[in-house]
Structure 1
Amino acid sequence: MAGRFVRASKYRHVFGKSTRKEFCYDNLRISRNAWDTNLVKANPDYLAVNWEASGGGAFAVIPLNEKGKLPDVIPLFRGHTAAVLDTDWNPFNDRLIASASDDGKVMLWEVPKDFTLLGDAEEPADVYPVAKLSAHSRKVGQVLFNPAAENILASASGDLTIKVWDVGAGSAALTLKHPDVVQSLSWSASGTFLVTTSRDKKLRVWDVRQERPAHEGPGHEGAKNSRAVWLGEQNRFATTGFSKMSDRQLALWEPGNNTPIGGFNNLDSISGVCMPFWDDSCNCLYLAGKGDGNIRYFEYENDKFEFLSEYKSPEPQRGIAFLPKRGVNVHENEVMRAFKTVNDAYIEPISFTVPRRAETFQSDIYPPAVGLKAGVSAGEWLSGKTGLPPKIDFESVYDGGAPVEVPANYRPSAPLASPSLPKPTPKKEPEPAPATPRSPPTTTKEQTRSIAAIASKYDDDGVDDDTSSFEEVSKPLQRSALPPSPTKTTSAPAPRAASPVKSPTYASAPAAAISAPPPTGGSAGGPRVESTLEQIKQLIETQTQMITAQGQQINHLTSEVDGLKKRVGSGSQDQRERIRQLELELEELRS
């Protein structure tokens, strides 16, 4: 095998980086309730954690900047009379959160201003709800805010209904009657549709404002729970579930079709549910296994999920939350951040970054993302209006200013497109195409210098003819200058610098000069040209053999790195980072 094709992607080298224990959130009492939810929800300011509390249900809110070991007694968000099963932050108000409980209630809470867990009070005051929404007759398992409309909340209950609430009015505006218990739900980017998975093993896409399913079809055949997540503004959604043989699966669906695009993809045979999370700005899907410590991530391209990499940890997670894109650290090239539970005692942040050394804003890996402004109001949405929320440009965040909005109808021209704002950097994206020859840069430079030296030596010998003899040498030189750079004119001036008198004839008629017969005026001109051409031919053949040998060496090193990765497995962080450095060096050598 002479070489290996590698798919071009800006996110191919994204890697997850764990956090030292002293920078985690420690001394927690995470709920041990067996209900299948994520246990943790995050926004750029706070973490919400389902709490193991006595005397009714409760959850805790932790400011993200208060890391380390928390006090033994902290203020809790109390009000439910049974265990809290799920929470969700309002996407347009970082201080407003909804909770669902085993007591059949949905409650709304507002985080107090300057809220902290590190106060001086021996008995910190608990926080109580600002609104109670009572319309379900059995436990409420999931709550999820509409991603486009302001103050629209969906709640799924064991009474086989999904209520859609106008939070501002405090009433249930719509009711979706579901045939069986809902296991997961996910909104489309515009908030028009809702996809659900159910205990009856069927997938349903709901036209919410019509209060009816727009499509119903079979899902994963396994008996265990399945999850669904809408792929943002794409007309697709993804599901995770199990096969009849209890293999974990991933599937991509188009609404209206009963069969997944490309079929069901088996992942492994681990028994824990895969929790999916979608990053709409980067078109990346993250799968976190419940009960294992691994997080896979894929890039969506051409109706396929292209595997990028996998974060591995010996510490299993029961719950996990992903930060909204507007909360990532753009100065460290962070494209996503997760918060995983560890041993029901502490929460560890996992940072996913693109390894680059540049000290300037990397516009190509930060397309615009949804900000803090809704697309439509609750009343407009209920009356039938649809609108996407405006996006923010990350360069304004990088510069330390207020987020700058880009048009609400922004559409990337292709997957992983650069921001719509005109910038010179995105125009460099087509460059990977000319890199097909995969010639090692050092060998090519040696070849160019050697040929230039021969041409210069021939010129110094004093050949009288200033047309045909120069052109016979220059044509092979032009071929050898192709591999080093996609721009063909950059490497040509090197040989011309040795003999400036030749540049007019080189630019005027190279084709005619090549076809011209050897000069007859000089007695030694013809044989000398033939001798020089023969030397150049032999040199090119030698260099070609060297290039081939180095290509084989690259393949050997690639195989060796792959073998090391398999043997290291879930080894130390230093070993994994060393392997990634080797991969980067090999990639630079190939390009």
Structure 2
Amino acid sequence: MATKYADEIKKFFATNAKTRDVQAHTAKVHSVAWSCDGRRLASGSFDKTVCIYMLDRDRLTKDYTVFRGHGASVDQLCWNPHNPDQLATASGDKTVRIWDARTNKAAATVNTKGENINICWSPDGSTIAVGNKDDLVTFIDAKTHRSRAEEQFKFEVNEISFNKDGDLFFLTSGHGNIHIFSYPELKTLHVLNAHPANCICIEFDPTGQYFAIGSADALVSLWNLPELVCMRTFTRLEWPVRTLSFSNDGKMLASASEDLVIDIGEVETGEKLHQITCDSPTFTVAWHPKRNLLAYACDDRRDRDAGIVRVFGFPSDT
């Protein structure tokens, strides 16, 4: 039986289903993320650039800032959770760059030991964690831009994240496990056997009550904290789940993969609320921190998709 929330959100998407596109990059977009105040959207691309767009009421601005400086693909980016002008990027050029969105220059460049593929900011804004292709995770002081600690893992590390309180550090592994460490001690607290296949991505909901795991078995599992119990699974996708994002109220979960749809499910029940049809696989999604707007980018298998950032959820009559 559908919940009241499900009925309301379905009605909302019936009239707020317009997608707006911005052509910013010249190659595949790997990562999209909103600033903490929701005024800016950033994207990182295989073309080695980072683009920043301003959100107008019902559209993204056509005028955008392009950050250049990376010598290789920008694989992932994240915003400072407390400073809407500051973001960090992870690149295959063995650097992490910290940018000031008010300028077009890097505020800092941090050299690392390998080709970086994932990055996250601690909830208090003090630390940036970055993982590379050799499964080394480096913790960088966000003020001094120096390494605080390094941890070399002996298994495949896919994605990393702090919990909302910042006292736990999570990573997904190629063995289907979720490794949970105390932070900053980095002592192993739990190893969850979450999926029978590779665990690819992890995402925490804004309330800190749940986290979701996307797996190569095409399932999304929803876990609660602090019990670490799997509450339910989302089963509508048919390909390995590459990306996840919770809505600002924590009630919706978007997931995407090589399926030509983005699935939007209700967290409380698992019910399908909406799906966004895509022409190509989708590897990055991000809900706006205050509105029911979902940013995403598709693969560039079709020439017309190359370098395009999309935002879904604008009024259909605009």
Same fold (TM over 0.5): yes
CA contact (8 A) 1:284 1:299 kept: yes
Counterpart in the other structure of 1:381? none
Counterpart in the other structure of 2:107? 130
Match of 2:33 among 41, 59, 66: 41
Listed as ranges, the matches of 1:99-138 within 5 Å are 99-112=89-102, 127-134=104-111, 136-138=112-114
Letter in 2 for 1:350: F
Listed as ranges, the matches of 1:156-305 within 5 Å are 156-223=131-198, 226-234=200-208, 236-243=210-217, 248-254=218-224, 261=230, 265=233, 267-268=235-236, 270-279=238-247, 282-291=249-258, 292-300=260-268, 305=269
Is residue 313 of structure 1 aligned with residue 308 of structure 2? no
Counterpart in the other structure of 1:153? 128
How many residue pairs were aligned? 302
Counterpart in the other structure of 2:85? 95
Counterpart in the other structure of 1:18? 17
Change (3 A) 1:9 1:193: farther
Partner SS for 2:235:
strand
Change (3 A) 1:59 1:314: closer
Percent sequence identity over matched residues?
Answer: 14
TM-score, normalised to structure 1, is 0.46
Counterpart in the other structure of 1:511? none
Residue deviations 1:529-565 (CA, integer Å, cap 9, x gap): xxxxxxxxxxxxxxxxxxxxxxxxxxxxxxxxxxxxx
Q: How far, CA to CA, are the matches of 2:59 and 2:225 in structure 1?
A: 42
Listed as ranges, the matches of 1:2-13 within 5 Å are 6=1, 8-13=3-8
Partner SS for 2:84:
coil
Counterpart in the other structure of 2:68? 78
Counterpart in the other structure of 2:312? 350
- The offset of 1:204, in angstroms, is 0.5
CA contact (8 A) 1:103 1:139 kept: yes
Structure whose CA Rg is larger: 1
CA contact (8 A) 1:31 1:39 kept: no
CA contact (8 A) 1:13 1:308 kept: no
- The offset of 1:181, in angstroms, is 3.1
- The offset of 1:103, in angstroms, is 1.4
TM-score, normalised to structure 2, is 0.82
CA contact (8 A) 1:188 1:233 kept: no
Listed as ranges, the matches of 1:362-441 within 5 Å are none
Residue deviations 1:461-503 (CA, integer Å, cap 9, x gap): xxxxxxxxxxxxxxxxxxxxxxxxxxxxxxxxxxxxxxxxxxx
Task: Identify which of structures 1 and 2 has the higher relative contact order when contacts are C-alpha pairs closer than 8 Å and 6+ apart.
Answer: 2
Change (3 A) 1:30 1:199: farther
Partner SS for 1:137:
coil
Listed as ranges, the matches of 1:490-529 within 5 Å are none
Residue deviations 1:268-297 (CA, integer Å, cap 9, x gap): 4522525221246x3314123133232322
Change (3 A) 1:70 1:51: farther
CA contact (8 A) 1:190 1:233 kept: no
Q: How far, CA to CA, are the matches of 2:27 and 2:286 in structure 1?
A: 15
Q: How far, CA to CA, are the matches of 1:170 and 1:339 in structure 2?
A: 29
Change (3 A) 1:196 1:30: farther
CA contact (8 A) 1:341 1:347 kept: yes
Letter in 1 for 2:4: S
Residue deviations 1:16-64 (CA, integer Å, cap 9, x gap): 33326xxx3433325437xxxx5211222222122343xxx22111222
CA contact (8 A) 2:287 2:293 kept: yes
Residue deviations 1:62-105 (CA, integer Å, cap 9, x gap): 2223957947xx75212222111111111211111101000121
Change (3 A) 1:285 1:176: farther
Q: How far, CA to CA, are the matches of 1:101 and 1:229 in structure 2?
A: 21
